[in-house]
Amino acid sequence: MTALLQIGNLRKTFMRDGRTTAAVAGVDLSVAPGETVGLIGESGSGKSTLGRLALMLLTPDSGLVEFEGEDLTRLRPRDLRSRRARMQIVFQEPGEALDPQLTIGQSVAEPLDVQRPRIPAAEKAARVAEALERVRLDPGMTTRYPSQLSGGQQQRVGIARAIITRPSLIVLDEPTSSLDLSVRAGIISLLQQLQSELGVAYLFISHDLTTVEYLAERLVVLYRGRIVEAGPTAELVAAPRHPYTQALVAARLDVDPRIAPLPLAAPAASSAATAVGCPYQSRCPNVQDDCRVGEIPLRPDDGAAGARELACLHPVPPATRPPLDLVAPQAGPGGSS
């Protein structure tokens, strides 16, 4: 199976307060056609930066971004723009993602206008109506303005805009984080439904393991610009190997008061950035001297079943993992739900 998106050794540094900080420090990642990859990390982990690099909305300092078999970093701006019909993004803040001066119809139609400037008006209107119907919005909404919509409706408009050029990949940058619980569930269901209808692949970025766990078949855990663990969602959650993944899993709280949370063994992060060695060393309960020297590469994880990768010298041994009575047997909800 060839990957739809293949990211190789990607790096991006930013200048902040006169210092350069690596937001993304050598990341390898791939997304297969039609699959959902969950990218999880805390704030400042570089997950949003990585999502933007994957779409070349930011230019990487070095590394490879291969999309549909083509290295995007080598394309001229004009050629890159034409590829954008196949890759889209949905943002966290649905209100800010829509131009307040444009009607809903104009916003949804923008990718079409850009990619096919000579599209007949009737076809354009039909495509806009179809996109709005797909996100379960009233196509009569085209003449309204973003300020007249609720947050959930605005996010549906953002999704309609993302699917109108029939992309093969959509980066979802925390699309449900700013929404109310009941609205959030509707958006998650919609995303699942769209994936089964359109076969689009998702790179789902979130800080919330509960949501990612529900949607993604594969999980990638990012910590301070580096992938610390990756693998099939169910296996990763059932038996986390990296102490950070373990902390993420343990930090989950169940909505059923009868199910007690797992003990959390992660000391508070010190703000001091660690330049050498494991990025997690300052918080890690398993830290040893060799964690503080040299870079720890992401390697196939021999200690666990399945296609898992791990960047840790002293992982959680499979035997001592705490029992998890909540994990579903199957890997993610699949496309047919």
The reply to whether 257 sits near other proteins by the rule CB under 8 A is yes
- Residues 12-36 as b/e (b if ≥16 CB within 10 A, e otherwise) read bbeeeeeeeebbbbbbbbbbbebbb
Least distance (Å) from other proteins to the CB of residue 250? 8
**Which of 119, 198, 250, 287 contacts other proteins by CB under 8 A?**
250
Q: Residue type at 96? A: E
Q: What is the rounded (10 degree) CA torsion for 43, 44, 47, 51?
A: 110
The reply to whether 260 sits near other proteins by the rule CB under 8 A is yes
**SS3 state at 266:** coil
Restricted to residues 85-144, the positions that interact with other proteins (CB under 8 A) are 85, 87-89, 91, 93, 95-102, 107, 110-111, 114-115
Which x/- pattern, by CB under 8 A, does the window 17-36 give for other proteins? --------------------
The reply to whether 81 sits near other proteins by the rule CB under 8 A is yes
Least distance (Å) from other proteins to the CB of residue 2? 24
Q: Is residue 30 within 8 Å of 6, Cβ to Cβ?
A: yes
101 CB burial (10 A radius; 0-12, 13-18, 19+):
exposed
Which x/- pattern, by CB under 8 A, does the window 41-60 give for other proteins? -xx-----------x-x---
222 CB burial (10 A radius; 0-12, 13-18, 19+):
buried
| Minimum CB distance to other proteins smaller for 258 or for 319 | 258
The reply to whether 247 sits near other proteins by the rule CB under 8 A is yes
The reply to whether 329 sits near other proteins by the rule CB under 8 A is yes
Least distance (Å) from other proteins to the CB of residue 294? 25
- Residue ranges of alpha helices (H) inside the chain are 47-54, 77-83, 104-115, 121-134, 151-163, 181-198, 209-215, 233-238, 243-251
Restricted to residues 148-207, the positions that interact with other proteins (CB under 8 A) are 148-150, 152-153, 158, 161, 165, 180-186, 188-189, 207
The reply to whether 256 sits near other proteins by the rule CB under 8 A is yes
The reply to whether 65 sits near other proteins by the rule CB under 8 A is no
Count of residues engaged in binding other proteins, rule: CB under 8 A? 86
Crossing angle of helices 181-198/151-163, nearest 10°?
20
Q: Is residue 170 within 8 Å of 155, Cβ to Cβ?
A: no
Least distance (Å) from other proteins to the CB of residue 310? 19
Q: Residue type at 94? A: P
Least distance (Å) from other proteins to the CB of residue 260? 5
Least distance (Å) from other proteins to the CB of residue 194? 14
Q: Is residue 316 within 8 Å of 243, Cβ to Cβ?
A: yes
Restricted to residues 293-322, the positions that interact with other proteins (CB under 8 A) are none
Q: What is the rounded (10 degree) CA torsion for 134, 138, 144, 150?
A: -80
Least distance (Å) from other proteins to the CB of residue 248? 6
| Minimum CB distance to other proteins smaller for 256 or for 302 | 256
